[in-house]
Structure 1
């Protein structure tokens, strides 16, 4: 390893720590919500907004913050984002009611958006073509690990300390990352000295905000409810107006000509489809593990650990190989393996053991590792370096929106199937409290509600998995048919020849 590459890896350490902290913050909070509800006497709607404030803010701002990173010193902008995220985390821990924690979660998300919207761009500037595959492997590991390590870390902190430490833990990590980034990151970004498209930013914010709000609240409000429909009605003209603005404005917030780049467009179409299927499937598994198998949140995290383990083993290798062999092969095989894992879960049953469950979901981790790091590498390498922040923010925004849509659609599929088992079923989930009540009914001679909930939920969960198998297969077909892997290799060889 040359001295320059070694310096780049050292410089990227605080960046990767910041990204992991942002990604982890979504799943780590889930475990703490019951304690927060107890302390603040929060309603279910309050708890949803504690989560939604974060997601909504990120989707709205990701493209904007990625674009700003192209215009200013990206290293200083990253430090600024880290400072906001750290401050937001501290204030969340100091919250005194639900309204304050919702507001501070939104502030936290502003910082998280700056970090997430510029991480891949920083990697593209630090590492030359031909060396980016490995760092994209690290990025893929952080994404996969955050899903399952969150409940383990959050459960341990909440159990042994309090829910406040779910936020306090970010403060020392944030401070260390700020110091590290200040001293280790070289001057980055500032490739384009152009005005910020404020009108485009406003149109995009309103359009994406309304769309995301309708998606994440649609199941609670009802998909035919006036509030849900109003969100979509508001979103459509604003997004159309944003597109028209970007086509005609000299300095667009999102340069739509990027979508003329074939490999960028292929990956932009394919990866959100996988994220959609993944989130629609994985969100139901914790209810199975905690509600039906009565595992703690922390233990359920250990049950899911096969995904990050397999991903960690594969992602660095696939990232490196994507600069040496045609990445189309890796990126096509990945979704197919993910589909195999989903198909395996269609046979899940109540008394399944740990290692059998590990074997069932392991292909999902392998599939993510084979797809994510090569796809990020191909996308970022295909765009001009002066627009890499714009591309980074767009990628993150689309994937985050796809995840929100996946959870919403997965919930609809699950609820519709459960209604076939339980007349009048109204979005209940088999949480531990509900299941203990049903167990008590069974002990007193009324087993029917317990049987209906267990058998109905397992069947409904299998139903969701069966439908979601289709989405990674669609991803594989798009990549196999349309991706030009040879073009990526030619670009890498040309760059490394000089």
Structure 2
């Protein structure tokens, strides 16, 4: 069966279809669960702080395992790891759907996240290895569209499923998609050849995971714990100490989990740094805009969703075009222009006032979507084309790590600046009025987005000097 398929002229697009299935499922699930948190909290008789771990545990595990999963793909085979990803994700989804306590649900989300990490870390490597250099930008651009559509459709599909079938359905919906994806892996993806005989660096993986989990916990809960509290500082200190041990260890073994020499490649390092900054900047907006629209402007959930959909919709249209262009003109111009447009969009959003029109708000979101669409596909193409074929798995894992780490940092930066400026504005006011509360929020909101714009400008400068 597979031998016959390999003779077809469109075989590489069948491979793309399998990879796109995994990308769509992973991104849709990331956004679909947030819709189900309120009914999950009520049904499992828990509180918001505990229920939030349904999201946090998933994010921590994925981010911590991405480099390891990329490395395993290089050693065990990307087809094998992608199949494992579908199995782990599908099994985790089934178990999440039948969980009858919040502790069980969090535990099964960890299993789901292990599968998702295997999918995320190896998707770009599979595409890059199956498409010629002249088409990589285009196909990575289409993957950008798939990711945008997954993020866009998640809340809508989740709302319908929860309303008509209950919160369990947001996990059960993954099962047929996961089984279809696994069938595609077995029937379509080419067999892995010339696999590495290198050993797996389990100690290095454990050190990296411990360091990353500790640091992400500090970023995620620093505002609640207090940024100078003993708990936060202990998490940061432990993370830095263990990460230092990890770097020391990786430079002294023959077969490390992470070949640190890969970062000597300026194109690779600059692309990942620019990608990290792009997602950090983007998530200052993603995190705070819903609060501005709902709490300050009193927009309905439907209206808020409509406004926020402008970003992924424009990105979905732009990403394939920019990817195709990057095959012809290279990444520098497109990535620099993309991050510059994102910075302008953030600046416009930072200047919004209480009388801002719907079209102005949506226009700023569309501009950011345009900038992100121009940036992501050429940047991913640049990063994945900068390494040797044997390094594609770990390169894809690092690229995905930069993306997820940027999301967490952007969220943490936005909340920290908002809370700091809000508290400073209200200090000395024993009973602030509603108007003063709004003014305090707007002060922090504006400053957070200005910082996001500055990060986007920094990313643009790095993109300009990537070669």
TM-score after normalising by structure 1: 0.88
Q: 1:126 aligns with which of 130, 134, 137?
A: 130
State the Cα distance separating 1:297 from its structure 2 match. Answer: 4.3
Q: How does 1:71-470 map to 2 (within 5 A)?
A: 71-188=75-192, 191-295=195-299, 297=301, 299-423=303-427, 449-470=433-454
State the Cα distance separating 1:280 from its structure 2 match. Answer: 2.0
Matched with 2:461 is 477
* Paired residues of 1:152 and 1:302 also in contact (CA < 8 A): no
* Paired residues of 1:149 and 1:305 also in contact (CA < 8 A): no
Alignment of 1:13 onto 2:17:
yes
* Paired residues of 1:148 and 1:304 also in contact (CA < 8 A): no
Which 10-residue stretch deviates more, 307-316 or 139-148? 139-148
Question: In 2 relative to 1, CA 457–124 (structure 1 residues): closer, same or farther, beyond 3 Å?
Answer: same
Q: Deviations over 1:355-385 (max 9, x none)?
A: 3322121111111111100011011011001
Distance 1:124 1:85 in 2: 23
Which 10-residue stretch deviates more, 222-231 or 353-362? 353-362
* Paired residues of 1:66 and 1:390 also in contact (CA < 8 A): yes
Give the match's secondary structure for 1:469.
helix
* Paired residues of 1:148 and 1:302 also in contact (CA < 8 A): no
Distance 2:55 2:194 in 1: 33
State the Cα distance separating 1:238 from its structure 2 match. Answer: 1.4
Q: Deviations over 1:125-162 (max 9, x none)?
A: 11121111111102222333444433222223223332
Distance 1:419 1:147 in 2: 33
State the Cα distance separating 1:123 from its structure 2 match. Answer: 0.6
* Paired residues of 1:74 and 1:190 also in contact (CA < 8 A): no
Q: 1:66 aligns with which of 61, 64, 70?
A: 70
Distance 1:246 1:393 in 2: 17
Q: Deviations over 1:377-430 (max 9, x none)?
A: 0110110011110111111112212211111111010111221444499xxxxx
Q: Deviations over 1:60-110 (max 9, x none)?
A: 111001100001131122111111111111211212121111111111100
Give the match's secondary structure for 1:196.
coil
Distance 2:160 2:305 in 1: 11
Distance 1:163 1:359 in 2: 34
State the Cα distance separating 1:339 from its structure 2 match. Answer: 0.7
* Paired residues of 2:320 and 2:377 also in contact (CA < 8 A): yes
Which 10-residue stretch deviates more, 36-45 or 100-109? 36-45
Matched with 1:37 is 41
Aligned length: 461
Question: In 2 relative to 1, CA 300–153 (structure 1 residues): closer, same or farther, beyond 3 Å?
Answer: farther
Give the match's secondary structure for 1:117.
helix
* Paired residues of 2:330 and 2:378 also in contact (CA < 8 A): no
Q: Deviations over 1:329-360 (max 9, x none)?
A: 01110000001111111232345444332212
* Paired residues of 1:5 and 1:127 also in contact (CA < 8 A): no
State the Cα distance separating 1:180 from its structure 2 match. Answer: 1.9
Distance 2:354 2:10 in 1: 49
Distance 1:289 1:9 in 2: 41
* Paired residues of 2:73 and 2:80 also in contact (CA < 8 A): no
State the Cα distance separating 1:460 from its structure 2 match. Answer: 2.5
State the Cα distance separating 1:451 from its structure 2 match. Answer: 2.7
Which 10-residue stretch deviates more, 241-250 or 465-474? 241-250
Distance 1:338 1:376 in 2: 17
* Paired residues of 1:54 and 1:105 also in contact (CA < 8 A): yes
Segments of structure 2 that go 5 or more residues without pairing to the other structure are 1-5
Question: In 2 relative to 1, CA 231–455 (structure 1 residues): closer, same or farther, beyond 3 Å?
Answer: same
* Paired residues of 1:66 and 1:389 also in contact (CA < 8 A): yes
* Paired residues of 1:12 and 1:185 also in contact (CA < 8 A): no
